[in-house]
Amino acid sequence: MRDKAAETAEHFTNRADFYVRSGSGIFNLNHNDFSDVFTAQKVVERYLQTFQWYLDDSPLIGELGIDIGKEAAGFKERFAAFFEEQPRG
């Protein structure tokens, strides 16, 4: 799950960086999309951190009452497109 979260985070980071690098013309035309991309990037980074804590056996999992099964299910539901079989070319 952590690896899939890392892959998903990289995807959204690259998309957000594209808007920043493209300049104000592109950013202004797509500012709503940028907001969605930036929000998704931050959400997936939180999942990535949670999965890393779990793998590291961090005490934060218990201290924060994190149910890793629910976290994994939430991640899979929110980012379902990243779990679909990719066509092989």
Structure tokens at 62: 């218990």
pLDDT in tens, 26-49: 555 555 676 788 888 899 999 999
Q: pTM score, two decimals?
A: 0.75
**Whole-angstrom Cα distance, residue 89 to residue 86?**
9
- DSSP secondary structure code for residue 81 in this structure: G
Q: List, in order, residues 6 or more apart from 29 with CB less than 8 Å away.
A: none
pLDDT in tens, 3-24: 888 988 888 888 877 766 666 6
Higher-confidence position of 73 and 27: 73
Under the banding of pLDDT at 50, 70 and 90, the label for residue 80 is confident
